[in-house]
Structures are given as C-alpha cells and as structure tokens.
Amino acid sequence: MKPVLQCPVCGLPLHADAQGCRCENRHSFDRSRYGYVNLLQKQRKKLRGDDAEMIRARRDFLEGGAYLPLLRCIADAVQSASPRMIADIGCGEGWYSCSLLRELPGETGLAGIDISPAALRYAAKRAEQCGLASRTEWAAASVSRLPFASESCDLLLNLFAPCEAGEFARVLREDGLLVRAIPLERHLWELKQAIYREPYENRPVLSAPAQFTLLDVQRITYRFTVSGQQMQNLFAMTPYAHKTAPEDAKRLPVTETMEVQAAFGVLICRKQPRGNSM
C-alpha cells in the first residue's frame, strides 16, 4: 500500500503520480527526478539536514553491515507490531527503512521524511532498486510538521534523528508505536578517543517522550572492527565530522584496524490514550 501524504497548505490528502502530488484545492508539489516530493514550505527551505558527503558515507558504512545487530532488534519490534503504515522520521538514506520494509508483508507501506534532499535522493533510489517503489513515498518535510493526517500512522521510526513528541502523537493512531534509536554513553568511544584529547560521553535520555509510555528499552552493545575507507566513512557520517578541527581529524588512524564499541538504546514507546497525562 502506497502511503498517502497530507497537503502542508490545507491538510487535504495529496494524490500522487510520477510528476508530483496535488490536493483537491490544487496545491501542487513537484517530484524531483530522483523520486521524492518536496513538501517543505518556503520558510523552511533553508533547513538542509545532512549534506551529501555525510549521506554517502552513511550509506557506504551501513551497507558494510556493522549495524546489523541494531537493525535486527528494530526489525523484531516492528514485525511484532504488524503495522500497515510506517513513517520513518529523519529517514536519512533509507537503509533502515528499506531493510525493514522488505521483511514485512506487501500491504505494509512506508513514508520516509527528511529535510535533506541528498538523503532523499539516495532513499528513493534505494527503494527503486529494492523493488519497494510501489510501497513507499519519500518527502522533504520537517519533523516539526509531518505531512500525515492525524492518527494515520501505525508505527513511527525515529532513528538517531530529532524527536517532536507532540507531532508524533498527532500522526500516530491510538495505541500506535514509536521506535526510537539513540546512541548510548560510550557509543564509538574508541573513535572519539583517537580524535579528541578529552572525549565526552553521550548523555542518552532513556525515557519516553511526553504523551508516550515506555514499553521497553533494549541496550545493544557489541564491538566491531573498522579500517581504511570504512573508518573514514564512520567518522564522516557522524556529527564529529563537522565539529572536529582538521588537525584533530588527521589523527584518525586509517591505516590501522580499530576495534570500536557500538552502544545503542532502542526505545519502544506507545502513544498514550487521549486524556491520559501520565
């Protein structure tokens, strides 16, 4: 089932075709030649999200399989919920979205939302290559204004991306699930140690966002090895790439093999019934 997007101007459903999509009030939005539609309003166009180099690096790194244990954990949670309509908020280049959708029955659809045009290009192409184009829709839109009707989604994925609890609660159906992934304290610790004189630990928030109840938290920790180009990709796909001075980045030991710890938190949250403020 192809997801139906909502007009960001008037809120009516958008009818999609190869050229773009359009509501009954004749608001229309172009589809890029890469396959995603641009629903960002003018004032939001300055939001760019991750740049092309970060996205390429993430695609190449994820395809190497180092985060498959995390994918497995998320897939188990998604499969047991049997969702018909999934939205991946901050979907990036679509590795998680497409890998998860492939394992679900054909009637399940997925909409991937991101503000990065580069990310959506890769995601739409990936869906095409995986034979998932008829079950997916990819849209440039912000997490703070999701292009979905109220209570139209069964499950939201929000993996290493900004969280807007109020908007998530609006678009999820009653009892709908939110699956979040966040980095734990010492995620990629050895990589940080190699670059920074004083590496800092992440400060994960392992509680449910407002309007959600925490059903489960999984801690996934393991070690993997990286070297050469994959080490560069790992560095380039993280926020450190932008925050690190060039002289620090040179300390990356790309000629060696490094053992790095992966430490993820996966939070499974359920939307609270209306009127429940607990």
Ligand X SMILES: C[S@@+](CC[C@H](N)C(=O)[O-])C[C@H]1O[C@@H](n2cnc3c(N)ncnc32)[C@H](O)[C@@H]1O
The only residue of 114, 137, 139, 265 in contact with ligand X, by rule CB under 6 A: 114
Our finding on whether 23 is near Zn ion (CB under 5 A) is yes
Question: Measured between alpha carbons, how far is residue 133 from residues 2, 38, 60, 168, 200 in Å?
Answer: 8, 17, 21, 24, 41
Nearer to ligand X, 128 or 164 (CB): 164
Please identify, among the stretches 21-29, 132-140, 194-202, 211-219, the one whose residues bind Zn ion according to the rule CB under 5 A: 21-29
Distance from C-alpha of 111 to C-alpha of 38, rounded to nearest angstrom: 13
**Chain centre distance of CA 250:** 29
CB 175 within 8 A of CB 156: no
CB 259 within 8 A of CB 194: no
Nearer to ligand X, 67 or 212 (CB): 67
The only residue of 16, 21, 100, 143 in contact with ligand X, by rule CB under 6 A: 143
Residue 5's binding partner, choosing from Zn ion, ligand X, none, with beta-carbon cut-off 5 to 8 A by kind? none
The only residue of 1, 2, 19, 25 in contact with Zn ion, by rule CB under 5 A: 25
Parallel, antiparallel, or unpaired: how do β-strands 257-271 and 172-183 relate?
antiparallel
Residue 110's binding partner, choosing from ligand X, Zn ion, none, with beta-carbon cut-off 5 to 8 A by kind? none
Please identify, among the stretches 20-28, 43-51, 76-84, 249-257, the one whose residues bind Zn ion according to the rule CB under 5 A: 20-28
Nearer to ligand X, 78 or 143 (CB): 143
Q: x/- binding map, residues 20-59, to ligand X, per CB under 6 A?
A: -----------------------------xx-------x-
Segment 62-91, which members bind ligand X (CB under 6 A)? 90-91
Please identify, among the stretches 3-11, 34-42, 111-119, 181-189, the one whose residues bind Zn ion according to the rule CB under 5 A: 3-11
Our finding on whether 10 is near Zn ion (CB under 5 A) is yes
The residue ranges that bind ligand X (CB under 6 A) are 49-50, 58, 90-92, 95-96, 113-116, 119, 142-143, 159-162
The residue ranges that bind Zn ion (CB under 5 A) are 7, 9-10, 12, 23, 25, 27
